[in-house]
Amino acid sequence: MPREIIPEACVVLGRFQPVHRGHASLLSSAEQWREKNAPEMPLRIAIGSINKPQNLSNPWDAIEREKMLEASLKELDFNAEIVGIPDIDNPPEWVNHAEDYHGKSGVLITSDQATADLYASGGWTVELIDLEDRTSLEGWRVRETARMMSTITDEVAIVTVLSPTMQTSVIETMIEMDAFRRLAFMGEGGEPVG
């Protein structure tokens, strides 16, 4: 069966577990780059790992992450297409696999060097964007802070604690989805804190 032809786009790829201010900065930079250099292309956000089971590293499903992205984009005041991509756990085949979901031959806009290298070797144009406050905006740090807040019912407290690392609109969307509470029941451990 032939592959569906998906128009090329400026693609931003991530797990978005959860959508945090580093992602918002990357999305804003990607939209600015697209407007200046490729206004004929849409901005397409690819949510990775949509087939992974929920755990402390992947607590939110694809639909929840899409809602977080929609809230983020609304606050950022621009639109983008959102697609999901299941993992295949095979980096050498990733780009070919992902093209079935986000299209071929576009421009990848990323802040991750390994992803940039992977797409460049797959023949893509790659724009590497500087990271935004990598120390506090690592996904695992944001998840662990959210996990610490998972038994708190005071919504103002949740927003106050998480707003340095997440947009208020995303936090409010997660509160509406009751997306924090499950973190308290996802087992022991978690990711290294330090």
Alpha-carbon span 184 to 141, nearest angstrom: 15
Query: Of 162, 193, 155, 160, whose CA–CA distance to 177 is shortest?
Result: 155
What's the pLDDT score for residue 130? 85
What's the pLDDT score for residue 194? 41
Domain residue ranges in the chain = 10-128, 139-185
What single string gives the DSSP state of each residue in 31-55?
Answer: HHHHHHH-TTSPEEEEE--TTSPPS
Instruction: Profile the chain (194 residues) by mean pLDDT over runs of 10 residues.
Output: 72 97 96 96 97 93 97 97 96 94 93 94 93 76 93 95 97 96 76 46
Superfamily of domain 10-128 in CATH is HUPs (3.40.50.620)
